[in-house]
Structure 1
């Protein structure tokens, strides 16, 4: 397959310019974008009088049994500590955050609320910046973001953060003047922060919650049954709400699930399976009719009344383990991969603006990853080509990177040289604009259309054609074009700019460490460390960030020369090898490993760069360790070495992951000049094993 997929160009995307750091980037959906050094300095920015952006969700009702937790948040945030609320799904983390944020806003405080499910940290930083500054088409470099945000004194509330500790450090570093309150499933720790583990309710407030959800007082004959239920579920709020909805007082989970599944209408069952396929992401009111084929208000009401789905203000999503199990019992599971065509058609429609597509970026990436796992490469390529320009134009560059990576892999599998060249070109533009790779010292712009058009103009059968149309009809031309783009345009610049050293993207200065897993009962969730009378500086904003795992990538190899050349063939190219896929399964909190051997390991491959790609949403669930990779000279030649590179891939889903949860990432290696040379797609599925553990006591302020 040599041709490109159909491309719809939005009127508010094509030819538009954005400013990223000290670079101008012009978005071109058909031929590829371009980047050049900006000579006039950064654009003007104006601080908003009050933070704008997302509205706070509805204020939570009275919280039963959470007075001490609210008091602890108030005390710690008042002392200047960043605070993390963490714990299993369904314990009320989001409700607690919404209540505290609403109370703070009512008292006159500036509040910035960021729902973070499925959103890369880079995009959260950009949304935070735009909430506080009027600069729609500007993405400052991290150092300038930190300087500008240093004067902002707001409460930053981040709900459902799913990133790694390194990404949390990046986010914290971008808001040095803000009080930070976030909710996560797993605990991320920092030296001066405070963490509150949210557990089930004590018996009295749990019974009161159960009665409130019944909308009547408990009858005498129901009281003991309700007490047994509270004890059995350890006061888990969501389970109590769901049990009250079906009024069965059933302790046995399997019996409750069966009863709920059997009682659902057909329309509610179909909708529940759809939302389960997208879990843990919410499905917005705008996308719901697109992906569900319409809106059945009765089905929404039915599922909401049973507490199997909930609305957080950004859309509807399933609520916890029971909802997932009920969805499984109602019929065949919906495959998120099959949603790609409908999502592509919506994104290509003239009614979908770039802002609409950017707002649905988590769903787009989720569906793309599912389609990639299903090897529906055509669907991946079409959806990626359709959405990538809008994400670039909207400065959702974290999601843009994910879309480009998945699109490039799909195009390569399809043999679509033109599509692959587009995705690779856009990725190089992204890196250049962010300062990950150096620009040509002349300051000229990089554009795929220009390079390929030039080749087409001198390519015999391709003469007279331009851009990707010419390249698609001439495989030799497209091969040369890709080499010119990646080797000539990018890496020649690397070899000559700035004394031969690449410009590295500034990294956040946060220092965040992880807790080692133990088999003992966790300590009391509220720290008893000595308090500091004044606002303590967070080390996460002043100290270098350590690696989060032993398998974190090493320091990048410094480039001291241009790639060696073979006579008559031009610069050496360690060809990108797709090593196929590896699938692992493990219970939540457990581990699974598998050994792999890369037979086509070459001298120009850099074994020191073997890692899990941190750009992948599921990378935190994987690790990789080299077993016996031959050491090679640096730089090396494009010659296969005598032995393969063997390594071990580890899958370790978090303790909070529910059975059936799927993770995807890529194990990658780069060559001696920083170019991607090997990629292995890895998939992990959380197996159905009990993850229940002892509950902690309630905190005491």
Structure 2
């Protein structure tokens, strides 16, 4: 096992001590900065391409096997020891010993980041190490992925949520996260992603009331404030300035940021003695400081203020501002309390932005920003990790371009960085840039870019488990690519469609008349079109091309019922939901059988095979034949000896039809207890089935195989955690049971979805190659 140690890359600035080469590359994904590459997200192998990404399903045996690092030591940059924080540090250390989640909170400028960085370096790390990062404008999924990459060697791989929790179980690292702007529920999700880690989170306000530890950071007392002033001045305070210094400490409420600014304005009188600004000037320190800046510092601060709270590496400051020594200039701004030095670069202090805007209302030119970042992202030396680190700056550059009436520039920068962000596996920031690009393409009338962003948004939805929304977006992408006469784009979108639910399961909720944007689609874990930040299905309507609100669920206007626009007409539209045509019913993902996308597939496990009959990545046996393990599925090609593990899927068709006949939409059910398992569920492949309560703390449902064999499975558990043992049938002999598999179901706290994991219990004579994890969505 590998060990990672050392600190992350340190921007040049005040108090920088070089400690040797950065260890950041030890755990970040450093794929070449071109527009193509291959990554693996969960069960999917994705080929990232600037034209439109393609995706294939990976059987478990071909998925990466992450290697645990022995120890993690990713600490922040070295800094001078904070003044007057000895008691706060002791209190924080005490909270760490008693809680798995600790919040450090306080107003801006009080010194939270300084104390957090100091604690990460000097307090005892967890048994498996320590990790520090900045969490501003980053989704829970991206933060969890960063923790995973720090603790495991698995380049280019993003595990699913349940797999991530399984891998992180037992990893006892201490995670320090600065600038956390997450809701209480998101904070809990982050902590759940690494259940045995200890988290110390710094933010402005306390949000986790009644749980975890907390420490409110207040301003420095008078003695510590005077000590800080003396240290920053580099000279002892003259006796004549002690009164002014005491008043500055009082009026600043002991906030180190204001005292830094006061020290920056200090001068010398005719006798050479230090003179501090007068206490009456404490509220007007900013204008006085800005008046003293030279031209290079003014230009650099103008850029940082334009990009607001985005972190920018000094190299970009130098290129955009023409500053010969940008690190020195930015370091000086940080010393004056006008900028903040972070692990990724520098950003403007929040209260500096309005003052700079008052002086320079125009903002930094959007064309220079977008041109620079687009060219930089395309450089072969630019890594996906670097682009992801500048995600906030890229968002703001695109936003500024739209504000200045240049959506074409926003399209350019979003399209340039999209492939690289996909390779970074930071799906949150990738999604935000895709949303911006799609909106800008709509404004600019750029159909080609709109097709690209729609296609990539669909791929992203597929990778993060929003499969129903992915199906709708892919349908739109097919239409757009065909309008452009782009066969390559059409083929890529059609290929991805086979991993989405069948057309009959795309069941919109009853929404506002006319199909307003925001209509919920298929109850995909509660995801509505447009609820994925900035997401609109179709960009201008909120519905898939050709669909009309109010039609039968899944029916597309102008096509046979259940057919998604742009798919091969060979899809059997009039058949029972979940049933395939005789020609295509058994097609497995990744196998070219001549069938259309969206062929129904077994929702839990598609294939399992004897060791003597190894399957290919797409589910084909060595002889080239395939077999289907799905609802009413027919095998195609040469049927070889296969062992299929069959889960509760066959009864799903009947349940779905029964509810439809009673005019009860599965997605419009009333709320249910958060830990109750009984009800109707949709699995990861879009099939529907029912779990019934059979007694106190026990449930049951039926499993059925291709040959008609069935078995009633008993489930036990409570409080959201359930387990069962399911049979494994040898499909080649129609009914012979060859073994068992363990089924684990973890229902989410709100009861709307569940993480499901199936693990084989083999004696070595058979192998379940598709046992693994997936998500279920509650319908009622």
> TM bucket by the smaller chain?
0.5 to 0.7
The CA distance in 2 between the partners of 1:385 and 1:71, in whole Å, is 48
The CA distance in 2 between the partners of 1:351 and 1:133, in whole Å, is 24
Greater alpha carbon shift after TM alignment, 10-19 vs 155-164 = 10-19
Taking the TM superposition and a 5 Å limit, the aligned residue runs for 1:144-543 are: 144-247=163-266, 248-251=276-279, 252-297=281-326, 299-300=329-330, 302-321=332-351, 323-324=352-353, 327-328=356-357, 330-332=359-361, 334-335=363-364, 337-338=366-367, 339-437=369-467, 455=482, 462=485, 466-467=487-488, 493=502, 495-496=504-505, 504=524
The CA distance in 2 between the partners of 1:350 and 1:440, in whole Å, is 31
The CA distance in 1 between the partners of 2:476 and 2:320, in whole Å, is 34
Matched residue, 1:56? 76
After TM superposition, give the deviation of residue 172 of structure 1 in Å. 1.4
Q: Contact 2:506/2:553 (CA < 8 Å) preserved in 1?
A: no
Q: Contact 2:459/2:470 (CA < 8 Å) preserved in 1?
A: no
The CA distance in 1 between the partners of 2:122 and 2:470, in whole Å, is 52
Q: Contact 1:110/1:153 (CA < 8 Å) preserved in 2?
A: yes
Matched residue, 1:24? 45
Taking the TM superposition and a 5 Å limit, the aligned residue runs for 1:574-613 are: none
The CA distance in 1 between the partners of 2:303 and 2:33, in whole Å, is 31
Q: Contact 1:491/1:562 (CA < 8 Å) preserved in 2?
A: no
After TM superposition, give the deviation of residue 96 of structure 1 in Å. 0.6
For each residue in 1:384-430, what CA deviation from the matched residue of structure 2 results, as whole angstroms up to 9, or x when unmatched? 11000111112111111101111111111122222111111111111
Matched residue, 1:38? 58
Q: 1:260 to 1:329 in 2, by over 3 A?
A: farther
Gaps of 5+ in 2: 1-30, 267-275, 510-520, 528-549, 566-662, 666-780
Q: Contact 2:374/2:413 (CA < 8 Å) preserved in 1?
A: yes
Q: Contact 1:156/1:180 (CA < 8 Å) preserved in 2?
A: yes
For each residue in 1:290-321, what CA deviation from the matched residue of structure 2 results, as whole angstroms up to 9, or x when unmatched? 33234435633543442322423321222352
After TM superposition, give the deviation of residue 95 of structure 1 in Å. 0.7
Q: 1:213 to 1:102 in 2, by over 3 A?
A: same
Matched residue, 1:550? none
Q: 1:142 to 1:506 in 2, by over 3 A?
A: farther
The CA distance in 1 between the partners of 2:66 and 2:210, in whole Å, is 33
**The residue matched to 1:136 in structure 2 has which SS?**
coil
The CA distance in 2 between the partners of 1:190 and 1:125, in whole Å, is 23
For each residue in 1:428-464, what CA deviation from the matched residue of structure 2 results, as whole angstroms up to 9, or x when unmatched? 11111222115999xxx979998877x57xx9xx5xx
Q: Contact 2:102/2:200 (CA < 8 Å) preserved in 1?
A: yes
The CA distance in 1 between the partners of 2:222 and 2:503, in whole Å, is 64
Q: 1:35 to 1:446 in 2, by over 3 A?
A: farther
The CA distance in 2 between the partners of 1:486 and 1:421, in whole Å, is 16
Greater alpha carbon shift after TM alignment, 237-246 vs 307-316 = 307-316
- Residue in structure 1 matching 2:155, options 131, 136, 143: 136
Looking at CA atoms only, which structure, 1 or 2, has the larger radius of gyration? Answer: 2
After TM superposition, give the deviation of residue 382 of structure 1 in Å. 0.6
Q: Contact 1:291/1:342 (CA < 8 Å) preserved in 2?
A: yes
After TM superposition, give the deviation of residue 113 of structure 1 in Å. 0.9
Q: 1:135 to 1:190 in 2, by over 3 A?
A: farther
The CA distance in 2 between the partners of 1:409 and 1:132, in whole Å, is 37
Please state if 1:566 is matched with 2:557: yes
After TM superposition, give the deviation of residue 487 of structure 1 in Å. 13
Greater alpha carbon shift after TM alignment, 265-274 vs 12-21 = 12-21
The CA distance in 2 between the partners of 1:166 and 1:327, in whole Å, is 36
The CA distance in 2 between the partners of 1:15 and 1:432, in whole Å, is 19
After TM superposition, give the deviation of residue 145 of structure 1 in Å. 1.0
Q: 1:167 to 1:287 in 2, by over 3 A?
A: farther
Q: 1:231 to 1:157 in 2, by over 3 A?
A: same
Q: 1:331 to 1:366 in 2, by over 3 A?
A: closer
TM-score using structure 1 length: 0.63
Q: 1:416 to 1:571 in 2, by over 3 A?
A: farther
After TM superposition, give the deviation of residue 105 of structure 1 in Å. 5.7
After TM superposition, give the deviation of residue 573 of structure 1 in Å. 10
The CA distance in 1 between the partners of 2:552 and 2:499, in whole Å, is 13
After TM superposition, give the deviation of residue 168 of structure 1 in Å. 2.1
The CA distance in 2 between the partners of 1:506 and 1:71, in whole Å, is 44
After TM superposition, give the deviation of residue 345 of structure 1 in Å. 1.9
Q: 1:202 to 1:380 in 2, by over 3 A?
A: same
Alpha-carbon RMSD across the aligned residues, in angstroms, is 3.9
TM-score using structure 2 length: 0.57
